[in-house]
Structure 1
Amino acid sequence: MQIAIDGPASAGKSTIAKIIAQKLNYVYTDTGAMYRAVTLLAQQHQLAYDDEAQIVQLMSQTPISFRVLAGQQHIFLGTQDVTTAIRLPAISRNVSQVAALKKVREILVQQQQKIAQDANVVMDGRDIGTVVLPQADVKIFLIASVAERAQRRYRENLTRGITTSLSALQAEIKTRDYKDSHRTISPLRKASDAIEVDTTGLNIAQVVTKVMEIIQQKLNS
């Protein structure tokens, strides 16, 4: 079974997808983390974020992988654990530019589709229901207000020891929304058959309950 969870930045996709995957014992795939990892790869090698040829060459030399360590999913670039590094503000500001590169997307989409072929998956991102898994059994589109998403990112950054102002995060999220929804390749948009869930004002447990209800309806149909 394939479950696609899409939505804008900080709508709760990764948090909810992880919990749903655990509940169902499905494989969880954070596609956004993959694009962040490629962005970090470009930064580490001091490449321009639009240098598609050089970034793609680096990708061929540096595999991206997920591993579960102490019950938590970590992402690796080669042998380097980059789980924390990919969440730094510099990566958040530039990941949209890297994610808009056609060849980068083609490579990562192929990897994501391969994962989905081999197991029951819960996959989250911005184009899962429209491009990566267009035939997914369940498609969820999570949304939330910019103010709430900025608050979530602010609290998340604090837990990681990252200091950012709330106003800066709001501006960053608005910019990210615009870039993601206006890019030429695989823009952020809700699939026609996706079910929208507004998470504004809801806690994690409430959102999980709503999403699980949608999945159970599909399983029982």
Structure 2
Amino acid sequence: MSRRISVAIDGPAGAGKSSISKVVAKKLGYLYIDTGAMYRGITWALLETGVSIDDAEAVSQALPHIQLELQATESGLVVLVNGRDVSQEIRTQYVTSHVSQVAAQKAVRTKLVEMQRDMASAGGVILDGRDIGSVVLPNAELKIYLTASVETRGHRRWLELKDSENISLEEVCRTVAERDMMDMNRKESPLVCVDDAVVIETDHLSIEETVQTLIDLIRKAELGGCHG
């Protein structure tokens, strides 16, 4: 008997976690929870209201006034902050360059981890982020670590941004490398590859190949197959 499971997908910035997870979830009829969009939403709200993101106390006091919602629509995920659709604003390089700083704040992580666990409690979910397998869903039936080189990830991110922002490939690669350092070395829930995760390196895999790899792993885990 197969069952609907919880899937934790971790990995560094630009590894393709969100785009891959969305496709896999749609194909399997799973709920996709974009935890990165949640952190971006909080980051956008703090920057928009002028809160100093270096001030842990100020951030903590601002959080109760930020209402965050994710809505799945036919055209994709909609991120609402206090009722406003900020799905586009949260993807700018400005927000990207500050999100690791905000995500490192304990109060922010506490608020969002609680939301994520609540959303995942029914099973049949795919969550992606940096601490899903280690902190948010340590008992997930399947844990995947999706990664690629800084050069590959930087190039992918640059392709997403180049038509809307005047930014060089070198600058994007530098931002990706800096974010890796921040995410791996932060005090609260650093980016780690847990021992029981399946590591998938996507440098030489197409989106379709990566999607199929994940689907095969999920189908096996649904049947209770081993996945260490």
1:144 aligns with 2:130: no
Q: What is the deviation of 1:70?
A: 3.8
Aligned positions of 1:11-30 closer than 5 A: 11-30=15-34
One-letter amino acid of the structure 2 residue matched with residue 32 of structure 1? G
Counterparts of 2:72 and 2:131, CA distance in 1:
24
Per-residue CA distance 1:115-137 (angstroms, 9 max, x = gap): 01134210000000000000001
Instruction: Give the aligned CA root-mean-square deviation in angstroms.
Output: 1.2
Aligned positions of 1:42-121 closer than 5 A: 42-121=46-125
8 A Cα contact 1:52 1:104, kept in partner: no
Q: What is the deviation of 1:56?
A: 2.8
Counterparts of 1:120 and 1:56, CA distance in 2:
32
> In structure 2, what is the equivalent of residue 166 of structure 1?
169
8 A Cα contact 1:17 1:28, kept in partner: yes
Compared CA separation, residues 211 and 70, structure 1 to 2 (3 A) = closer
Per-residue CA distance 1:178-204 (angstroms, 9 max, x = gap): 000000110000111000000002110
Counterparts of 1:32 and 1:52, CA distance in 2:
20
Counterparts of 1:164 and 1:4, CA distance in 2:
32
> In structure 1, what is the equivalent of residue 40 of structure 2?
36
TM-score under structure 1 length normalisation: 0.96
8 A Cα contact 2:71 2:79, kept in partner: yes
Counterparts of 1:89 and 1:124, CA distance in 2:
20
8 A Cα contact 1:6 1:190, kept in partner: yes
> In structure 1, what is the equivalent of residue 6 of structure 2?
2
1:126 aligns with 2:118: no
One-letter amino acid of the structure 1 residue matched with residue 186 of structure 2? R
Counterparts of 2:32 and 2:165, CA distance in 1:
25
> In structure 2, what is the equivalent of residue 205 of structure 1?
208
8 A Cα contact 1:6 1:142, kept in partner: yes
Q: What is the deviation of 1:49?
A: 1.1
Counterparts of 1:162 and 1:69, CA distance in 2:
26
Counterparts of 1:85 and 1:6, CA distance in 2:
24
In structure 1, list runs of 5 or more residues that go unmatched.
none
Counterparts of 1:49 and 1:92, CA distance in 2:
13
**Deviating 4+ runs (over 6 angstroms):** none
TM-score under structure 2 length normalisation: 0.93
8 A Cα contact 1:19 1:208, kept in partner: yes
Q: What is the deviation of 1:211?
A: 1.1
In structure 2, list runs of 5 or more residues that go unmatched.
none
> Percentage identity across aligned positions?
38
Counterparts of 2:9 and 2:198, CA distance in 1:
10
SS of match in other structure, 1:135: coil
> In structure 1, what is the equivalent of residue 218 of structure 2?
215
User: Which shows bigger deviation, 80-89 or 127-136?
Assistant: 80-89
Q: 185, 193, 197: which is aligned to 1:194?
A: 197
8 A Cα contact 1:180 1:187, kept in partner: yes
Counterparts of 1:110 and 1:86, CA distance in 2:
21
Compared CA separation, residues 130 and 98, structure 1 to 2 (3 A) = same
Counterparts of 2:84 and 2:69, CA distance in 1:
10
